[in-house]
Amino acid sequence: MAGLSYGTAGRIAVRELHSSRGKFAFVVLSVAIGVAALTGVRGFSSAFRRTLLLRARSIMAADVSARTNMPPTPEQEKGIAALEAAGNDESPVTELLSMASSARSMDPLLVSVKAVDPAKYPFYGTVVLEPKMPLDKALTDDSVAVGDDLLLRLHLHVGDAIKLGTEQFRIAAAVLDEPDRLSGSFAAGPRVLISQKALEGTGLVAPGSRVSRRYLFRLPRAKKGRALSDAAVAELKARLETLLPEAQVADYREANPALTKALDGATGLLSLMSLVALVLGAVGVAMAMRAHLQQRLDSIAIMKSLGAGSGQVMKIYLLQTLLLGLSGGVLGVVLGMGVQMAFPLFLAKLLHLTPRFALDVHAIGLGLTAGMLTTLLFTLPPLLDVRNVRPILILRRNVDAADDPFGARLMRKLKGSGAQIGASALIVVGLVALATRVSDSRRVGWTFAVGLVVVLLVLLAMAAVTLWGLRRFLKGTGLRLPSTLRHGLANLYRPGNPSAALLAALGLGVMQIAAVYMVQRSIVSEMRGATAENLPNIFLIDMSTDEVGGVRKLLATQPTVKGTPEILPVVSARLVAVNGVPFADLKLKHVGRFAQSLNLTWPPVTDAPPPGDSVVEGRWWTAKEAAGAAQRPLVAIERERAARLKVKPGDRITMSAQDEDFTATVAAVYEADSRHAFSRAEFILPQTVLAGMPVVWYGGVHCDPAATAGLRRVLYEHFPTVTVIDVAATLEVIRQVLLQVTYVIQFLAAFSIFAGMVILASAIAGTRYRRIREVVVLKTLGATRARIAAIFSVEFAVLGLIAGAVGLVFANVLARYLLVHVMHFAYGFQAGANVAAWAAVAGLTVAAGWMASHRVLGQKPLEVLREE
């Protein structure tokens, strides 16, 4: 066989594959399902994410927004012009407070003026007007659009005139909805939309005026079928932060905290599921190919007896491996495309948008590469073992030669085998490369690969300890155990049984499948809270203390109001110093000129955060600490505001309210969900600290979205000075997006879990050929089918229980780390779910083992003995 060509090696490999089609079905199935999960999940999620993020942009009406209270300098104007020249669209938004009046009303009304460029604004979403018309038709040099609450208060109709500054304007339409209502300023007073050109003629904007400016940017359109690059968004954001150091710069992913958190969580989970599919496929390949090579030891020994070298034999099985990887990869890509097309059909009744199917060449290429590479990498160690097969094996069968390669014997071999160590290093490097490509993050790739190696080593060590403990246990119990149970337990460490490898593979698979389930359950649970139908969608601004009681009673009588209204007190204050450093000397970036203005409040329950707030640093004060806070003030600060002020628990904040300074110690940093009225205030103190200070009240109430106009009218009739801000339409968009994300996460996670279970079942099934000889020996010694079935069932059950226990422990550790430290979601240990999963793993292991091995019981002893 000297000079074996690749053509000849390929023919031998194909002939062997053809003669063992059933055996290799497990390998092809493992690769195919792993690749299908990778390409299907990745392809569909990328298409869905593109569609979803288009809606997310409409909440900001742009890709990137920069808010500042300072007029731009000539250098900054040149910088903004340079960004436009680079292909970015820019549209300014100016917001300020002013007085409006009309001939029908003697008293002027405080209004919130929003000036836009109607030719460009909004870049995403639509301004809904009544009567329906394009925005550039409503906003001209002599016409404006106003909120319907302004029409109520000034007793006006569309077509009437109002006066802003020195100019009269015709009311062309009523504003029903603005896409960026939540990301704009929540100022008091009804809304007035006006063009930038018309605003210039009113004289309202003058040097020293308190004006908020937003610069909206839209990046150049991405190529058809491709998503806008996150890197391009980040680059533009960084350039704006440098150009406008006093501005608060945000991109569309930060338009709404709940939506941002949901999208980030979904993206992280989808990457995790893709990595799980990748590794589980590799586990299935490794187990099946190792079993196959163990079966071919005699053939390898014969080839070596005829003069074949180790390199020539390895060439045959290397080509065989590549053919299997390619076959599984192609089949997996086809299945993945089917999955990508099928998901929208299953979800059509749940989703209000259906991603358009597009052939994702990147996902297909990644899937094929992953299938081929994982197959090759994880079969390298058994392929290298071919060098250790001696021709004498065919004459003197040594059962111990087939001993578990993951056991102590392998460790002894590794000490003197640079090739095996190199193969292990190559597997790690390959996993890093694949994980980096799948997750689009080098850090995630390295963390995943290193974590996988550490967990695998721990699993192998625990498997070895478990098998050692079983051996000692059986020696100690003697004959006191039933013979079937004793035999089944002893089977776990019999010569030639890959128990340690199977325990490690099952434990790893259980860990990753359970981690996916736990992570998706926590994310979906939190997002369902964000989509609750009783969250506030109408906000009440500037209620006096005398009006609060009446507002509560009025809301309680309205049938369209759901849940209990949220009413919070707000005390206006000014930031004086941080840790003794005056505010002017803090040198803070992106805080704005009016960041010194603070809104203080106290919680409805003394010793717990307000609804929707959760502590992320420090701890909340107790009732006893709150009672003594008048002498030792405490404060909790919203996480983003704390980051901008660079404060943490234990720092000291000096504030001034009613010209009275007081210093409070930061007890906690909390995260607000932006869905409750308490998100209005960013500083929370015990009530005893704010006692006696003048208070303005704010409120939030949930109303049927179709009935908000009626509720606004009722509130105006009874409390004409209370400003009502209706964001029901915008919040309903966010709610629907979050619902869609939860549905997609659940479906994709279910598919990934199912794929993982099939792959692990195929890995268990790959050991059935090892059982044939044992069945024959037992039958020859007189064992019945029932006794053999009981022995194997004990073995399968113990494997499942041990692997399930180890896998679930690591799954909880991994899920907690991902949720708390990476995705910033809450983690809660579910004892009942873990016990049920443990029992399910044992049951599924027994079922999978028997689904693949039941025919072994029918093997005729003479057929096998003749081969000896």
Q: Where are the beta strands (DSSP E) in 220-308?
A: 248-251
Q: Is residue 405 part of a domain?
A: yes
Give how many domains the chain has, as a whole number. Answer: 3
Residue 58 resides in a domain: no
User: Which band of pLDDT confidence, cut at 50, 70 and 90, is reported for residue 270?
Assistant: low
Residues 456 and 551 in one domain: no
Domain boundary among 681, 698, 726: 726
Structure tokens at 599: 């809104």
Same domain assignment for residues 716 and 744: no
Q: Is the pLDDT of residue 424 over 80?
A: no
pLDDT at 73 over 80: yes
The verdict on 283 and 196 lying in the same domain is no
% of residues, the chain, pLDDT over 90: 15
Whether residue 401 sits in one domain with residue 346: yes
pLDDT score for 494:
67
Domain hosting residue 72, numbered range: 65-259
* Mean pLDDT, residues 404-411: 43
Domain's final residue, options 215, 240, 259? 259
Residue where one domain finishes, among candidates 664, 697, 726:
726
- Please report whether residue 234 resides in a domain: yes
How many Å apart are CA 572 and CA 601, to the nearest integer?
Answer: 9
Angle formed at CA 41 by CA 35 and CA 45, multiple of 5 degrees: 150
Cα 511-515-521 angle, rounded to 5 deg: 150
State whether 644 and 754 are in the same domain. Answer: no
One domain for residues 479 and 378: yes
ω before 92 within 30° of 0 (cis)?
Answer: no
pLDDT at 408: 43
Q: Of 183-187, 502-506, 557-561, 564-568, which gets the smallest average pLDDT?
A: 183-187
Same domain, 387 and 273: yes
Map residue 101 onto helix, strand or coil. Answer: strand
**Short-list 151, 161, 117, CA closest to 136:** 117
Burial group, residue 311, by CB count within 10 angstroms (0-12, 13-18, 19+): exposed
Q: Could you tell me if 207 and 160 lie in one domain?
A: yes
Distance, C-alpha 211 to centroid of its chain: 38
Q: Give the range among 236-245, 417-426, 545-554, 642-651 with minimum mean pLDDT.
A: 417-426
| Banded model confidence at residue 799, pLDDT cuts 50, 70, 90 | confident
Residues 734-753, mean pLDDT to the nearest whole number: 71
- Determine, yes or no, domain membership for 60: no
CA–CA distance, 184 with 546 (Å, rounded to integer): 29
| Together in a domain, 420 and 496 | yes
Domain membership of residue 59 (yes or no) is no
Identify the three-state secondary structure at position 163.
strand
The dihedrals phi and psi of 144, each to the nearest 5 degrees, come to: -135, 170
Alpha carbon distances (Å) from 752 to 256, 276, 280, 517: 29, 8, 10, 10
Does the reported pTM lie above 0.75? no
Same structural domain, 507 and 590: no
Regarding whether 268 and 255 lie in a shared domain, the answer is no
Per residue in 571-585, is it b (16+ CB within 10 Å) or e — as a string?
A: bebebbbbeeeebee
Is residue 442 situated within a structural domain? Answer: yes
Return the pLDDT at 345.
Answer: 66
What are the tokens at 402?
A: 């087939």
523 in any annotated domain? yes
pLDDT for position 410? 45
Looking at the fold, whether 231 and 332 belong to one and the same domain comes out as no
| pLDDT, mean of residues 299-325 | 78
Quick one: pLDDT at residue 477?
A: 72
394 within domain boundaries: yes
Residue 804's pLDDT band (cuts 50, 70, 90): confident
- Segment 571-597 shows an average pLDDT of 78
Write out pLDDT tens, residues 75-88: 999 999 999 998 89
CATH number for the domain spanning 680: value is: 2.40.40.20
